[in-house]
Amino acid sequence: MSDSPTVQNAPDLTGGAVGGDGPTHVAIIMDGNGRWATQRGRPRSFGHKKGSEAVREAIEGAIRSGVSVLTLYAFSSENWNRPPSEVRDLMGLLRLYLRNEVAQLNKENIRLRVIGRRSQLDNDINVLIDEAEAKTSQNTRLTLVIALNYGARAELTDAAKALAAAVVEGRESLENITEDRFAQELSTADLPDPDLVIRTSGEQRLSNFLMWQCAYAELMFTDTLWPDFTKDDFADAVTLYKGRDRRFGKR
Ligand code: FPP
């Protein structure tokens, strides 16, 4: 987004007023690692490695902008359909991240959370996630949420099933099933909804990401490939967000 013509669906800010409140929760669909590598004649795994380094940029951008929650879409429930070697590479990077970065996150007062179906992940990754979440649970500067084996339809189906079971077993009454009650069954129950979703690499879709939670999120698309994304790009996105008129269905 430093090359500003790449930002789409964004208002022309040159003459517009900027200065609304910044976003509390920013969610990012980190896309374009493969193309970034291919453009350089390198394997896709190289793009993913560079992409994992760009995570640091997003974290610093979020902290500088006063964001409270940053959610990163690291592995979707559909990503299992990629070639096994690529899935292995991505899981390897997540392992490395959990092993090597948690101490630094903790030092920076960052809380780490993982959302997504844990049962399909290797046991050692689950252990690393449990340890990381426990170690950082009291941190307050930023909540970093990593969506791992996450799919919104799976999450919504799980929530519907849990509520249906509660009603059938008499633990919950049908009248109590409100939007708020439903949201309590989601993996994000204790988090505010995203205010801003950024997707890199020029694609313009949600790809099964936080579909309930993003009902009123502002969407921003940039041609920048994820490994090139910087904290300045993050700051630019926040500036554009402040120029948006959020109406939540009102006039
Ligand atoms: C999309 O690029 C990116 C992914 C499927 C994975 C995102 C993962 C990382 C950035 C690395 C690990 C993350 C953490 C939190 C340590 P793509 O492969 O779909 O790119 P393409 O569309 O150009 O092929």
Domains of the chain, by residue range, sit at 22-151+192-238
Bin 212: left if φ > 0, else alpha if -120 < ψ < 50, else beta. alpha
Query: pLDDT value at position 149?
Result: 98
**From the CA of 90, how far away is ligand 1's center (Å)?**
8
Looking at the DSSP bridge assignments, the partners of residue 29 are 73, 199
What is d(CA 152, CA 158) in angstroms, rounded to the nearest whole number? Answer: 10
Does any ligand 1 atom lie closer than 6 A to the CB of residue 71?
no
Tokens 């649970």, residue located: 137
Backbone angles phi, psi at 146, to 5 degrees: -105, 120
Task: Report the nearest atom of ligand 1 relative to the CA of 51.
Answer: 10
**From the CA of 33, how far away is ligand 1's center (Å)?**
5
The catalytic residue positions are: 31, 79
pLDDT in tens, the chain (251 residues): 444 434 444 333 333 334 579 999 999 999 999 999 999 999 999 999 999 999 999 999 999 999 999 999 999 999 999 999 999 999 999 999 999 999 999 999 999 999 999 999 999 999 999 999 999 999 999 999 999 999 999 999 999 999 999 999 999 999 999 999 999 999 999 999 999 999 999 999 999 999 999 999 999 999 999 999 999 999 999 999 999 988 888 87
> Is residue 61 a contact partner of residue 234, using CB atoms and an 8 Å limit?
yes
What is d(CA 29, CA 220) in angstroms, rounded to the nearest whole number? Answer: 10
Element spanning 152, H or E: helix 152-168
CA distances from 66 to 26, 51, 235, 242 (A): 11, 23, 10, 13
Does any ligand 1 atom lie closer than 6 A to the CB of residue 31?
yes
Query: Judging by beta carbons within 10 Å of its beta carbon (0-12, 13-18, 19+), is residue 138 exposed, middle or buried?
Result: exposed
Does any ligand 1 atom lie closer than 6 A to the CB of residue 93?
yes
For a mutational test of ligand 1's pocket, the pick from 42, 48, 50, 204, i.e. the residue with the most ligand atoms closer than 8 A to its C-beta, is: 48
> Is residue 224 a contact partner of residue 233, using CB atoms and an 8 Å limit?
yes
- DSSP per residue, 161-199: HHHHHHHHTTSS-GGG--HHHHHHTSTTTTSPPPSEEEE
Q: Which fold has domain 22-151+192-238?
A: Undecaprenyl pyrophosphate synthetase (3.40.1180)
Query: pLDDT value at position 19?
Result: 54
Please report the beta strands in 46-129, taking only residues with DSSP state E, as ranges in sequence order: 69-76, 110-115
